[in-house]
Structure 1
Amino acid sequence: MKICIVTHKIRKGDGQGRVNYEIAMELIRRGHQLTLLASEVAPELAESISVDWVPIIVHKYPTEFIRNLVFAQKSARWLRDHRGELDIVKLNGAITGVNSDVNAVHFVHNSWWRSPVHISQEHRDLYGLYQWLYTGINSYWEKQAFRKSKVVVAVSTKVAEELINIGVDPRKIRVIANGVDLEEFTPGSIEREELGLPKNVTLAMFAGDIRISRKNLDTVLQALVKVPDLHLAVVGETKNSPYPKMVEKLQLGQRVHFLGYRRDMPLLQKAADFFVFPSRYEPFGLVVIEAMASGLPVITSKSTGAADLVTPACGIVLADCNDINSLAQSLELLKSDYQLRQKMGRAARAIAEQYSWKIMAQNYLDLFTEVIQNAQHSSYPYLSSSPRSMAVPCRTASPN
């Protein structure tokens, strides 16, 4: 197959970029030819004889909105000239204006635009207005892009529901969850002193952008007040974050440990007893499945897409991400029961092993093959249902 992937970045260290990186690497291993329309590509991909990288240079433009607009125009121009040479064109969202075979959706801007925790709700200024307009315009463009795609892939059932809510035909939607590196994220332990963390205490971990309220650290901190002796490690950039001051106000300074922005999450996970991430709006949440692969029980929320993967055996899904009491009960449960944590951690790892990057990439490859076969043998625009890509474990409610 000759496959074209259109996205801004294709490399590790970037959520959407990592997904496309893993798809690309698996396609190369299978002997397929790849064309990558992207601004940044991992060196090992750019140097591969199976890859034709078409650089879309946009870094000189001043704002993200303008950079995205220029990227869309340049990539669309190239695709119109070369579409006949390709078997599959895979996009992400409204990245370009050309029809696609597969559009993989990691974020639904219309849902984010209407969210009560949208940036414009927190910043009643020019920056907030810019973000409101940026999200609204992307929302409009996305609807057009989804309408022009043969298949729309959602990274979670949450995203699938959001796509249906904005008018995407359910028959076009597939759910393929993101994956995790099972060799990079593994169960284990580490001396906490090396990280400046206390030993001989129960330690929960939170990771995310703590400069905004969307990740919901404030609810975690308020719940922590109700759970004596539990410590919390927080991974995220503290500059311009309101939460260090909130910790002082809540008198949690002895129990909350800010680690800053880190790239060594596989190591940090080994220092924790369990992971907590009750995000207010999260289409997927790679940190959840990474914690599970690390053998950690997880507490998350129904508003987090990765909750699809969390069963009663491996964690807790809060029905209301802002329910301080329910979160406190969940924290207390895991803090006080070592045997339960061990049992849940083993179950979490077992579930994560069903979602390796290789399995995710295989699901995409199967979908590409099906799209091509459908185009060759039928004029019917929709594909048959695929239990393999749609199947996700059920969710579990929080304790009463």
Structure 2
Amino acid sequence: MNAASALRVLIVTHVVRDNDGQGRVNYEIARALLAAGHHVTIVSSMVAPELLAHPRVRHVPIRESRLPSRLLQYQMFAIKSAVWIRAHRREFDIVHVNGFITWTRADVNAVHFVHDGWYRCGFYPFRLADGWYGAYQVIYTRLNAWCERWAFRRSRVVVPVSHKVGEEVRALGIEPGSLRVIHNGVDACQFSPGASERDRFGLPGEPFMLLFAGDLRVSRKNLDAVLRALASTPAHVHLAVAGILRNSPYPALARELGVADRVHFLDLVKDMPALMRSVDAFVFPSRYEAMSLVMLEALAAGLPVITVATAGGSEVIDSRCGVVLESPEDVEGLASAVERVARDRDYAREMGRAARELAKTLTWQAMAERYLALYEEIARSDAARRAQVAAPAMSARS
């Protein structure tokens, strides 16, 4: 690409790196921009070193605030970043933000979570009367919901990461014409089928092994439903659980339900590709999710996926590669789906092959190309508008 056609893109987010959900999306967009010959400026608190080393990357650091709460820390980032962006806005063709992250207008706003959707989904667990922690969570959620609505209305194009998120954005009064759904991606090479390494993770070799991965300290991911469903399945079905165990109530619940000998709590697992190669299916009945990266990773690893409609990303799954239940509270349905997959390993393997083929269409490259096409569309529209404005002036001078 020649210098005249290269775009100058500003990305605003807290973190840009390959081991963070939202950060990974922005990391892949930045890499694709650079590969296409564009210039990237990143306003953030942290950027992966390999991006910083690139000659066409400029980093504007916003130090992490030491104020006492995420609510105040994020507001400080929003204020500081807005001051810088307003002073430098003319330097960029595209300003790309992520939800509410800064007090300024944007060309593209990628939506990875909708606080209003989480608050109204029917499974929000906090109340103002639940003590200081519950009250703080409600205030945090409602203030962020208001800020997100402000940010969406001041963005030219809003990009939900799933159709589920798109519906939540539309519920805020955002015009459908300004929405472009772009699903998150997955590294189909890193997450791929391969030899099992159960011994490495201390897992028994014979049982049909389910995998659950997520935050084990909150109810939103819904491990409780998985454990209750497991109690209704045959003894040859086991569950591996990946996630930080500290302060988790779920080991006690497994003992209470009488399934502790079939549940293998692995704590934090750093090599998720190897773990996914070592199990037979992935189960993820999250009560609220925007677009789960771990679900896409399970598909890429060739695992049948058992999930629910409230988990964003479930919209890409069909009966060939998984099971999508309507309600995250349908424990009986969850147990039935698990038993069906575990009963017939040939059926499970066939689903896994279909999952793998689906994941190949949802790569990071495919995602990034859609963002770049959107940037170029906006830039062409701006160029055409400038030319239209300039034409009468040229005619008057001639």
Flag whether TM exceeds 0.5 (same fold): yes
SS at match of 2:107: strand
**Given that residues 179 and 360 in structure 1 are in contact (C-alpha distance below 8 angstroms), is that contact kept between their aligned partners in structure 2?**
yes
2:283 corresponds to which of 276, 279, 282: 276
Question: Aligned-pair RMSD on alpha carbons?
Answer: 1.3
1:14 corresponds to which of 20, 24, 34: 20
**Given that residues 12 and 98 in structure 2 are in contact (C-alpha distance below 8 angstroms), is that contact kept between their aligned partners in structure 1?**
yes
**Given that residues 289 and 352 in structure 1 are in contact (C-alpha distance below 8 angstroms), is that contact kept between their aligned partners in structure 2?**
yes
Q: Deviations over 1:130-161 (max 9, x none)?
A: 11101111111111110000000000000000
Measure how far apart 1:223 and its partner are.
0.8
Q: Deviations over 1:31-82 (max 9, x none)?
A: 1101100000000111211101000112433321111111111111111111
Look up the match of 1:88: 94
Q: Which amino acid aligns with 1:231?
A: H
Distance 2:353 2:295 in 1: 15
1:238 corresponds to which of 245, 256, 263: 245
Look up the match of 1:396: none
Look up the match of 2:197: 191
Distance 2:271 2:168 in 1: 33
Measure how far apart 1:114 and its partner are.
2.5
Distance 2:129 2:297 in 1: 31
Look up the match of 1:78: 84
SS at match of 2:210: strand
Query: What pairs up with 1:23-102 in 2 under 5 angstroms?
Result: 23-102=29-108
Measure how far apart 1:377 and its partner are.
2.5
**Given that residues 56 and 75 in structure 1 are in contact (C-alpha distance below 8 angstroms), is that contact kept between their aligned partners in structure 2?**
yes
**Given that residues 213 and 241 in structure 2 are in contact (C-alpha distance below 8 angstroms), is that contact kept between their aligned partners in structure 1?**
yes
Look up the match of 2:381: 374
1:128 corresponds to which of 131, 134, 154: 134
Q: Which amino acid aligns with 2:8?
A: K
Look up the match of 2:296: 289
Q: Which amino acid aligns with 2:168?
A: E
SS at match of 1:220: helix
**Given that residues 117 and 213 in structure 1 are in contact (C-alpha distance below 8 angstroms), is that contact kept between their aligned partners in structure 2?**
no
Measure how far apart 1:121 and its partner are.
4.5
SS at match of 2:381: helix
Distance 2:291 2:131 in 1: 29
Structure 2: unaligned runs, 5 residues or longer: 1-6, 387-398
Measure how far apart 1:190 and its partner are.
1.8
Percent of pairs with identical residues: 47
2:354 corresponds to which of 347, 350, 353: 347
Distance 2:225 2:140 in 1: 28
Q: Deviations over 1:345-369 (max 9, x none)?
A: 1110100000110110000000000
Distance 2:160 2:223 in 1: 26
Distance 1:362 1:122 in 2: 43
Check if 1:328 corresponds to 2:335.
yes
Check if 1:358 corresponds to 2:346.
no
TM-score (norm 2): 0.93
Distance 2:287 2:195 in 1: 30
Distance 1:48 1:118 in 2: 43
1:107 corresponds to which of 86, 93, 113: 113
Measure how far apart 1:378 and its partner are.
5.0
Query: What pairs up with 1:109-258 in 2 under 5 angstroms?
Result: 109-121=115-127, 124-228=130-234, 229-258=236-265
Structure 1: unaligned runs, 5 residues or longer: 380-400
**Given that residues 119 and 131 in structure 1 are in contact (C-alpha distance below 8 angstroms), is that contact kept between their aligned partners in structure 2?**
no
Q: Is the deviation greater in 56-65 or in 245-254?
A: 56-65
Distance 2:128 2:193 in 1: 38
Distance 1:151 1:250 in 2: 48
**Given that residues 197 and 274 in structure 2 are in contact (C-alpha distance below 8 angstroms), is that contact kept between their aligned partners in structure 1?**
no
Measure how far apart 1:189 and its partner are.
2.4
**Given that residues 119 and 132 in structure 1 are in contact (C-alpha distance below 8 angstroms), is that contact kept between their aligned partners in structure 2?**
no
Q: Which amino acid aligns with 1:79?
A: I
SS at match of 2:329: coil
SS at match of 1:254: helix
Measure how far apart 1:375 and its partner are.
2.2
Check if 1:265 corresponds to 2:272.
yes
Q: Which amino acid aligns with 1:28?
A: L
Look up the match of 1:5: 11
Q: Which amino acid aligns with 2:328?
A: C
TM-score (norm 1): 0.93
- Structure 1's 123 and 32: CA in aligned 2 closer, same or farther, altered over 3 A? farther
Q: Which amino acid aligns with 1:247?
A: A
Q: Which amino acid aligns with 1:352?
A: A
Measure how far apart 1:123 and its partner are.
8.7
Larger radius of gyration: 2
Distance 2:324 2:120 in 1: 23
Q: Which amino acid aligns with 2:39?
A: Q
Q: Deviations over 1:325-350 (max 9, x none)?
A: 11111000000111111111111010
